[in-house]
Amino acid sequence: MLKDRVSLIRPHHWVKNVFVFAPVFFAFSLFDRSVMARTALAAAAFSLVSSGVYVFNDLADREDDRHHPCKKDRPIAAGRVGVKEAVSISAGFILGGLSLAWFLGYSSLWVLLLYLAMNGLYSYKLKHFPILDVFCVATGFLFRVIIGGTATGIPLSQWIQVMTFLLALFLALAKRRDDLFLELSGNGKARKSLGGYNLEFLNSAIVLCASVLLVAYLMYGLDPVVMAKKGSPYLYSTFLFVLFGVLRYLQLIFVKNDSGSPTRHFYLDPVLRFVLLGWVALFLLLLYGPRFNLFG
């Protein structure tokens, strides 16, 4: 069925590729049509390749997924999509994404090739090593930001790279906690890497990453060089939205024991949507307001 083929490529996960737009957002280039066109093309390329990677991962994990309370219904694990067909779908999407990246230049193509290589190693080996597995997931988000920079020629600051990695690591650790919680409650089969985790360690690691992320963001907002470059002395005010969002996610993790899908929370949690939209609106006002004389 078409529904199973669409589910297999997980188009709802394409929202993760909003990170591709981070360089153009912070470089005051949202109204530059040529830059935005190249960014959109980079996001499309990453979406196609990431969908191919999702299919590839489902193929590699199909036996384990059959013992998971939610993943057992995935098309490959449930037997609704055959292995040969899944291989063809994965290859088609990956080749399509690489073809788009080729038009953006060799730097962007290399970013996607490195992303593919890392995910190949992750699927068959690295995902079994605790800590290294979540580092691979976080690095995947960093690749999204990097291709946004290579596609447009926008240099990336150390701040955007550090905070992207910390945010992704925070979310990946929360996902591992959800996997472990399901295993301990008898509702799922453990990943091999979960043997190197327990709830005490993951709780501490999550809080540690959240704390470092918040400190890094506040330092970014208070950095005189950043304020001079962005043209606003009030960037630190956006920290309130970041703090609220992190606390909300910690509430989902520790109070509701529901941290399995950051993408689902993005679509369904009204608090996180409000925080994200508020952060974007305030940042746009602070960054672009002076350039359009919005403050007189």
Instruction: Count Cβ atoms below 10 Å from residue 153 Cβ, excluding itself.
Output: 12
Q: Per-residue DSSP letters for 78-116?
A: TTSS-HHHHHHHHHHHHHHHHHHHHHH-HHHHHHHHHHH
Predicted confidence at residue 290, as pLDDT, reads 65
Residues 109/101, Cβ–Cβ less than 8 Å: yes
Query: Distance (Å, rounded) from C-alpha 44 to C-alpha 97?
Result: 7
Q: Name the more confident of 257 and 208.
A: 208
Mean pLDDT, rounded, of the chain: 88
Q: Name the more confident of 60 and 221.
A: 221
Per-residue pLDDT band at 112 (split at 50, 70, 90): very high
Span 233-254, pLDDT tens digits: 888 999 999 999 999 999 999 9
Per-residue pLDDT band at 67 (split at 50, 70, 90): confident
Query: Distance (Å, rounded) from C-alpha 120 to C-alpha 117?
Result: 5
- Cβ neighbors of 258 (< 8 A, separation 6 or more) are 178, 252
Whether residue 278 is predicted with pLDDT greater than 90 in this model: the reply is: yes
Cα 23 from chain centre: 15
257 Rama sector, left if φ>0, alpha if ψ -120 to 50, beta otherwise: left
Q: How far is CA 2 from CA 7, 11, 65, 83, 259, in A?
A: 9, 13, 21, 16, 29
Residues of the chain above pLDDT 70, percent: 94
Query: Distance (Å, rounded) from C-alpha 175 to C-alpha 256?
Result: 13
Span 147-182, pLDDT tens digits: 999 999 999 989 999 999 999 999 999 999 988 887
Per-residue pLDDT band at 17 (split at 50, 70, 90): very high
Instruction: Count Cβ atoms below 10 Å from residue 25 Cβ, excluding itself.
Output: 19
When mean pLDDT is compared across 23-37, 244-258, 280-294, the lowest value belongs to 280-294
pTM attached to this predicted model: 0.90
When mean pLDDT is compared across 123-137, 181-195, 197-211, the lowest value belongs to 181-195
When mean pLDDT is compared across 18-22, 279-283, 287-291, the lowest value belongs to 287-291
Predicted confidence at residue 180, as pLDDT, reads 87
First to last CA, the chain: 57
Residue 296 DSSP symbol: -
State the sign of the Cα–Cα–Cα–Cα dihedral 93, 94, 95, 101. positive
